[in-house]
A and B are shown apart, each in its own frame.
Chain A
Amino acid sequence: MTFQDIILRLQKFWSDYGCVIVQPYDIEVGAGTFNPATFLRVLGPEPWKAAYVEPSRRPTDGRYGANPNRLQHFYQFQVAIKPAPVHAQQVYLDSIAALGIDLVAHDVRFIEDDWESPTLGATGLGWEVQLDGMEISQFTYFQQFGGVDLMPITLELTYGLERLAMFSQGVASVFDIEWTQGVPYGAYHHETEVQFSKYNFEVADTDMLFQLFDQYEAESKRLIEMDLPRPGYDYLLKCSHAFNLLDAREAISVSQRARYIGRVRALARAVAKTHLKLQEATDA
């Protein structure tokens, strides 16, 4: 199955399940969890079902296009369902079967992998799902977000689209994935990996990024204080990406690192708190 067919199938599957098919967010994020369609929606009591592709940037994972498995930019397929359904595992497995993967012939396993995002002040319990030993998804019951204990609980499914495609197509390199007939993934993304790896590791202007981090943080705080947590959250995302770039440039010492993460987390907590406060005010 081609890369885009996998996306289309998953979208169809989750659309049929009743999900809102949200579009990727227009700010750099490290994972689908950062999309406000997950972060802001897991808070509070309202039911929510959403599914979407999220281009995810992890500057430190760049390998100049030389490693067949690691990319600084890749695609996640993200599903968030609140409250978590009773047949969560079965629904998930059905979605994998919908990709034409024979679940009897292959070994699907749920291996303990508790999730934690120090920047989002978030935790969840669940598994990494392995297909013949390869991680293809994260399956998580969120427990806490922005420092807030959750109830109802949201189920998060994160599919590694490249992993699924490599498995489905039996190729050993991510760049050999057939995006659509005649177009390999590499044709679209190899050069971006080479250039961005150089940018992330060697070229990014660290003075500018440090400045931006401070400015984004200040703007985020200002907006949150004005009861505008949604734009405030956008600036949190910008902070987070600036931090990731600085991290890739090794501009942040290991001891400073914890402090920067703490600063982003403080924003996440403030966003969650303010968002909930506004929600409650609307409900009242």
Chain B
Amino acid sequence: MPDLLLEIGAEEIPAGYIPPALEALAVGMDQLLTGARIGYDGVESLRVLATPRRLTLFASGLIAAQEPITVEVSGPSKKVAYDDQGKPAKPLIGFCRSQDVALDAVRIKQTPKGDYCVVDKADPGRKTVEVLAEQLPGLITGLPFPKSMYWTERALTFARPIRNLVALLGEKFVPFEIGGVAAGRETEGHPFLAPGRIELKDADLETYKKKLEKAYVLVDLEARRDQLQQKIEKLLSKHGKGEVDNDLLDQVTLLVEWPGVLEGEFDKAFLDLPEEILIESMRYHQRFFPVRDAGDKLVNRFVAVHNRTDKQAKAIRGGCERVLTARLDDARFFWDHDRKVPLEEFAGRLSGIEYLQGLGSVADKSIRLATLCQTFSRHVPAPGYKGDAEKHATEAGGLCKADLLTEMVGEFPRLQGIMGGFYALEQKKNPEVVLAIAEHYLPRNPTDALPKTKLGVALSLADKFDHLAGCFALSLKPTGSSDPFALRRAAMGILRIFRAQQLDIGLGQWAVEALEQIRGQVDFDLEAVRSAVVGFVLDRLEEQYIRDGGDRDLFAACRFNRSDNPTDLETRITALKEVTGKPNWPSLQELAERTFNIAKPIVHEEPSSVDESLLEVDEERAVWRTYRECHESVQKLFDEQRYAEAAEAYEAALAEPVHWFFDKVFVNVEDERVRANRVSILKHVNLLFTRNFANLAALHVPEELKPQRGRKGSAPG
């Protein structure tokens, strides 16, 4: 059974486009083969390989032709197919002729629309090579890329122009064409080290890899990555720990066909510049690996990846050094220039940058941040803090966006905030102000560091709440996957900071502070926007919880009480998880479910007070008495966030009396006052739990765990 080798040769495909394209290629190939009834060794046998100039897919053990199948073809209805004598009429004769079958092959099939004539036709299946020739072009041109381009005709787009196609099924080539390029059996070597075409005899993967390796193309991504890693590690470890930056390694692996590595040097004098600038220039602009000594300090060296062999490395090194020097020269120019300008002057010019239409300039935003930072800082615990938060918060808020107008951030936008911190330091600002500015964009992504200082935390939260509040007030909410204002990132950042700082406060309060700042400028309903912001942030918490394998129902149960405190919400979820594993869980759940279902309590509504003179039956008196006896101590446990203990105490006290209550007391009696009174008792009982912890009514308890009780019995003494 033949193997399939497909190579799409293109002009350099952007590195970031390659991994998703390979995945889509594998998924698409499996769908193509499965859909076309072409059996093969299955998804596990698929291999994808790539360099910037080729995307390759290998599948093994394809059958030579599609599996034959029998297809049922529907014809005319029985009513019109036969005449009065039961003989075949015109429509049926025509149908049989068109299907090329004899009249006696017809059978009658019952359908909801009546009886119909059908025939079973054998489809023997076409040759695999024919099916592939027909379907591979669609698979290839349908690959998704972040951006696709035209180069020859309107109907054809791809990441970059397709210039060569290899498609082999065993020893045969699969004939098709895309944009004037005919598929064949010839691949190409390294365009500089081994230019020219390489003929492939068959679809053998190992031969393909070997032939290309001889032509200076290491087509196996993993192998290329491993070789690069070893070579880079070797160079780095001469100076220090030798840890290789994996993200950068992934990037550069996708930029070369041959794994060349060299070490270069730059003028020691540049080491005076802040490390972040050096890293930005090396890592982000030139994709060079910075080199550190054993003490983790940068040294004046770098490691660069190239697409040649060691023989050429020496010549290439000079160019790399010159280009890095030019970058660092620029950086020094910006550094010297920016430091001379007081941050206050840059901040003043922020009035020229519009923040969001309707919300004024970035200067206006800075004024808001100064106020918010001051307010928020009061809620950030900082044991042993001795600074002047009020004063420094205002200064940090006012200056935190100033670096947007510096030359350095203009050139290296990723250094925003960081440069602000450096310039504040250079200009002898208070260390609290310096750190708050430097930290206020943190975290910039899900794995980024978090702000650590009191004012850094306050300012970062101020920035994010101001952004969320502003966007929601202007109705700029994200829709579907589109989130142009990066509101999800802001929300996730807030949650991470809340968790790290254990901020035990509701989100709504912070949102309102931020919204108060823009009242009058934008027309919005404070309560509606507050609740939208809180809901949006908590939705992110839920998303994250479920993505990490958490239980959706558990989350919903805890969110039911509408508390907007994410820290407390997480504590309750953890506690609930613990509670559901305890022996009394089924009884607790039953208690909560029964009281909830009959009393339908609303968490933010006080139940009407219970009229003791209306209590008629012992069982209801018992429930009410028990509730009054226990509710203070249970509430205290809840208030101390000892949720599991509270649940234990609640169940221990109330499960039994409530059980007897349901057994003996009929709630829906004629007398409306008695009925309302009974409902009210149950509401009190339920809300003590639901309001403080979670609504257990909708949680599932396996049948075998449910409490087994006789329907009849008598109340204890």
Contact = CB atoms under 8 A, between A and B. Distances in A.
Nearest to A110: B12
Interface string B300-331: 00001011100010011111101111100110
B361 A255 contact: yes
Given A107-B306, A141-B161, A68 B326 contact: yes
Given A105-B315, A132-B316, A172-B322, A255 B353 contact: yes
A127 interface: yes
Contacts of A112: 12, 14-16
A132 B147 CA distance: 27
A106 B316 contact: yes
Interface stretch (A39-47, A71-79, A83-91, A190-198): A83-91
B326 A109 contact: no
Nearest to B149: A125
A108 interface: yes
B333 interface: yes
Contacts of A127: 12
Interface string B158-185: 0011010000000000000000100000
A125 B161 CA distance: 10
Nearest to A129: B12
B168 to A, nearest CB: 23
Contact of A67 (B147, B256, B260, B330): B330
Contacts of B319: 106-107, 131-134, 167
B interface, size bucket: 35 or more
B326 A133 contact: no
Contacts of B315: 102, 105-106, 132
Residue among A86, A88, A114, A170 with the highest chain B CB neighbour number at 10 A:
A86
Given A69-B330, A103-B192, A141-B151, A133 B324 contact: yes
A208 interface: no
A212 B322 CA distance: 41
A153 B323 contact: no
A226 to B, nearest CB: 33
B352 A254 contact: yes
B574 interface: no
A166 B316 CA distance: 14
Nearest to A155: B151
Contact of B150 (A66, A111, A131, A153): A153
A83 B161 CA distance: 13
Contacts of A254: 352-354
Contacts of B455: none
Contacts of B14: 112
A134 B327 CA distance: 10
Contacts of B333: 63, 66-67
A254 B351 CA distance: 9
B31 to A, nearest CB: 28
A53 B354 CA distance: 39
A83 B152 contact: yes
B105 interface: no
Interface in B314-369: 315-320, 322-326, 329-330, 333, 351-354, 361
A141 B150 CA distance: 8
Contacts of B307: 107, 109
Interface string A147-161: 000111100000000
Interface residues of A, number: 44
Interface string B503-519: 00000000000000000
Contacts of B635: none
B232 to A, nearest CB: 16
A124 B167 CA distance: 30
Contacts of B12: 109-112, 127
Contacts of A56: none
B244 to A, nearest CB: 19
A281 interface: no
A229 B561 CA distance: 67
Nearest to B154: A151
Contact of B330 (A70, A131, A134): A70
B48 interface: no
Contact of A106 (B161, B286, B312): B312
A220 interface: no
Interface in B1-33: 11-12, 14-16
B255 interface: yes
Contacts of A68: 326, 329
B163 A86 contact: yes
A181 interface: no
A282 interface: no
Contacts of A108: 192
Nearest to B326: A69
A105 B322 CA distance: 17
Interface in A131-150: 131-134, 141, 143, 150
Residue among B323, B324, B325 with the highest chain A CB neighbour number at 10 A:
B323
Nearest to A70: B330
B193 interface: yes
A107 B322 contact: no
B361 A104 contact: no
Contacts of A93: 191
B307 to A, nearest CB: 6
Q: Closest 10 interchain pairs by CB?
A: A132-B319, A253-B352, A112-B14, A255-B354, A110-B12, A125-B149, A254-B353, A134-B323, A107-B306, A133-B320
Interface of B: 11-12, 14-16, 52, 147, 149-154, 160-161, 163, 180, 191-193, 255-256, 260, 286, 288, 304, 306-308, 312, 315-320, 322-326, 329-330, 333, 351-354, 361
20 contacts: A66-B333, A67-B329, A106-B308, A107-B260, A107-B308, A110-B52, A114-B147, A132-B319, A132-B320, A133-B316, A133-B323, A134-B322, A134-B323, A141-B161, A151-B150, A151-B153, A153-B150, A153-B152, A253-B353, A254-B353
Given A104-B312, A134-B326, 19 more contacts: A66-B333, A88-B11, A88-B161, A104-B192, A104-B193, A105-B312, A106-B308, A109-B12, A109-B256, A111-B255, A131-B319, A133-B304, A134-B319, A134-B322, A141-B161, A150-B150, A151-B150, A166-B322, A253-B351
